[in-house]
Amino acid sequence: MDLIGPDHSLYDVLRKPALPLYDDIRPAAIARCSSSSDVIEALAYARSANLPVTPRGGGHCFAARSSTTGLMLDLSPLSTISVEPTAALATIGAGARLASVYRGLHEYGLTIPAGCGPTVGIAGLTLGGGLGLLGRRYGLTCDRLVAATVVLADGNVLTCDAERESDLFWALRGAGGGQFGVVTSLVFNAVPSPTATRFKLTWPRSRAAEVISAWQSWAPDAPDELTASLTVNANHVQVFGATLTAFDPGPLATLAPEIDLLAGLTWPELKASLSEGGPDNRIIHSKSEFFRDPLPPDAITQLLNAGCELNFTPMGGVYNRVPVDATAFAHRTERFLLEHAGPDRNAVRRSWSIAHAYASGAVYPNFPDPELTDAHTSYHGPNFPRLRDIKAKYDPSNVFHFPQSLGGPR
């Protein structure tokens, strides 16, 4: 373990999260961990120094849960990717980022359903669920998880799967981000790395209401092989995504969009094409919720006047064919996710409040919201009581604590 303090040349490079909103949070020290043994040593140091501890994979947490004023565990050295091609099993270190995961697995003709952000950490994405362009075909990232190695607060190292420590394994699939222990490696049942078509359909913003109306009645019910997200900003409306078969825009075709297609892309190429433009360094506030029913026209009109960006993600497909209690991720009956985002916090709150009247009340764990009044139910639904019991078993002292955590405040 390398212990890095504020006077170290690497400190400012390592402490900064991916989201500029939390740039000012300064850890007392940073422990660079390249093995489970390093994590054990770091946890012992945190106990001796009476410091709160937070693991970081990618640093993209919307609620700064991967930042701390205590001891930050930098897991980025844990980035090894190994593959058993005949079994289609991929073992990935908790510090690996998505771009390297896609490239590494593609060498073996494999991939996993996951997100588009190239610098997003695989561990945080998986432990909170994991939405992505292959999700409607193959499920959440956590649905492909078959085993994980976890360092508990007391230093014990566990390997959990469907047979060993099965309750912990259940909890990690959808509620595992920084709550039970430090995950150091994950094993996935990979899927074939496809050739696909990337599409972008664009309209002027004046067409937003009719595009939203058509999209929400089509995208959640589209074939599993197609994922079409929707974004509305100050300049335009765009439906974008990927399809594993011939592209069919359904009812959107009648709205005469500007169409941009790139066919025959490998999966790493397609992912790269959707993350062009580099990181967004603006201060962005965000709130979101799931929906089980379409938004009515008057609500859409109000949202378009609220003054922030709207991002719609379709659910349906395999996402919704997994029982609610099969994993800790409880949101298996939703049609779409709506995120409200922008630099004006009040505009984001205003937009969210308009849509909230029509939402299911469920919130994606990977889009945490510190302002929730009933966070446990929002994140975990009927799975919360079981998660609370598992938390008490594996982290009874609530070492892995943050606001709204399963263990509550200490």
Per-residue pLDDT reduced to its tens digit, 193-204: 999 999 999 999
In this structure, the answer to whether residues 92 and 150 fall within a common structural domain is yes
Co-location of 40 and 107 in the same domain: no
Read off the pLDDT band of 238 (50, 70, 90).
Answer: very high
Q: What pLDDT does 408 receive?
A: 59
Q: What is the pLDDT of residue 350?
A: 98
Claim to verify: residue 112 and residue 128 sit in the same structural domain: yes
Looking at the structure, do residues 204 and 336 belong to the same domain, yes or no?
yes
CATH of the domain at 19: 3.30.43.10
Task: Find the distance separating the first CA and the last CA of the chain, reported in whole Å.
Answer: 28
> Is residue 275 predicted with pLDDT exceeding 90?
no
CATH of the domain at 264: 3.40.462.20
Residue 206 has pLDDT above 60, yes or no: yes
251 or 282, greater pLDDT: 251
The domain total for the chain is: 3
Q: What is the mean pLDDT of residues 384-394?
A: 97
Domain-located, residue 352: yes
- Report pLDDT for 311: 98
Do 110 and 90 form a contact (C-beta atoms < 8 A)? yes
Looking at residue 372, its pLDDT comes to: 95
pLDDT > 70: percent of the chain: 98
Q: What is the mean pLDDT of residues 337-348?
A: 97
- Cross-strand partners of 56: 74
Confidence band for 409, pLDDT divided at 50, 70 and 90? very low
Residues 238 and 313 in one domain: yes
pLDDT reported for residue 31: 98
Task: Give residue 282's identity as a one-letter amino acid code.
Answer: R
Residue 16 forms part of a structural domain: yes
Do residues 332 and 267 both lie within one domain?
A: yes
Clarify whether residues 271 and 175 are in a common domain: no
Q: Do residues 237 and 330 both lie within one domain? A: yes
Q: Is the dihedral of CA 128, 132, 134, 137 positive or negative?
A: positive
| Assigned domain for 182 exists | yes
Expressed as residue numbers, the domain containing 131 is: 81-192+383-394
Q: Do 183 and 263 lie in a common domain?
A: no
Average pLDDT over residues 144-155: 98
Q: What is the mean pLDDT of the chain?
A: 96
Q: Is position 400 within any domain?
A: no
Pairing of strands 71-74, 53-56: parallel
Residue 186, domain CATH: 3.30.465.10
Of 16, 48, 74, the residue at which a domain comes to its end is 74
**Do the domain assignments include residue 409?**
no
pLDDT at residue 83, as a whole number: 98
Same domain, 49 and 149: no
User: DSSP 3-state helix, strand, coil percentages of the chain (rounded to 5)?
Assistant: 30, 25, 45
Helices 297-304, 345-356: crossing angle, 10 deg rounding: 180
Secondary structure class of 342 (helix, strand, coil):
strand
pLDDT digits over 61-117, tens only? 999 999 999 999 999 999 999 999 999 999 999 999 999 999 999 999 999 999 999
Nearest C-alpha neighbor of 315 from the set 245, 380, 224: 224
276 pLDDT more than 70: no
Q: What is the pLDDT of residues 123-132, one digit of tens each?
A: 999 999 999 9
Position 404 in a domain: no
Does 365 share its domain with 224?
Answer: yes
* pLDDT bracket for residue 410 (50, 70, 90): very low
pTM assigned to the model: 0.97
Cα–Cα distance measured from residue 329 to residue 379, given in angstroms and rounded to the nearest whole number: 8
The answer to whether residues 157 and 211 belong to one domain is no
In a domain? residue 214: yes
SS3 category, 39: helix
In a domain, 264, yes or no: yes
- Phi/psi of residue 166, nearest 5 degrees: -65, -30
Amino acid at 285: H
Strand partners, 82: 91
